[in-house]
Amino acid sequence: MKWSRVAVGAVMLLVWLALWGRVTALNVLGGVLVVLVLGVVFPLPAARPSRRPSPVGVVLLAGHVAMDLARSSVQVAWLAVRPGPAPAGAIVAVPLRDGSDAVLVTTAQLLTLVPGTLTVDVDVPAATLYVHVPVTGPVEGLPQRVREDVLQLEARVRRALPATGAGERRAAPEGGTR
């Protein structure tokens, strides 16, 4: 039995026990039985990780995200308390350069984590994120500025999760490059 399956089973057992609210021998036994039945009925697919985290890249990404969180929190707080109307919003399509699921999902989640931005939709086959942003400055050049910021974040994510050569990368969509 692989360690990943044991880890998933352990997490499922912890959730089971948390749902029951107390740890008793009967709850543990019942949880183990439920985990075993679910493991047989719904087996996990065999997945080869195509990306392994780079410690240096992860630390740099975490630092960048922390700075982004602090800066964006102050900006959004100011937008909330300043006099005048609320800013308009815009949705910008951002085609990513890397089509891997790991980079696509991580980039989308980090964008949504930062106050003021929200990943509205993800076009997986085209590796395109649709990002909602507040319009706080000049509208001219806004889509390009948003795309540059998202692509910089994607580059940091790629450095944090470098490809291991397992070939997770997808072909570029027609009319575009990645």
Q: How many domains does the chain have?
A: 2
Domain range for residue 150? 55-160
* Residues 83 and 127 grouped into a single domain: yes
* Residues 32 and 112 grouped into a single domain: no
* Residues 17 and 79 grouped into a single domain: no
CA distances from 106 to 58, 111, 133 (A): 12, 9, 18
* Residues 63 and 141 grouped into a single domain: yes
User: Is residue 130 a part of any domain in this protein?
Assistant: yes
User: Is residue 75 a part of any domain in this protein?
Assistant: yes
* Residues 36 and 76 grouped into a single domain: no
User: Is residue 173 a part of any domain in this protein?
Assistant: no
- In tens digits, the chain (178 residues) has pLDDT values of 577 788 889 999 999 999 999 999 999 999 999 999 998 999 877 766 678 889 999 999 999 999 999 999 999 999 899 998 888 999 999 999 988 888 999 999 999 999 989 999 999 999 999 999 999 888 899 999 999 999 999 999 999 999 876 555 454 455 444 4
User: Is residue 116 a part of any domain in this protein?
Assistant: yes
Dihedral over Cα of 92, 93, 96, 102: its sign: positive
* Residues 113 and 150 grouped into a single domain: yes
The pTM for the full model equals 0.70
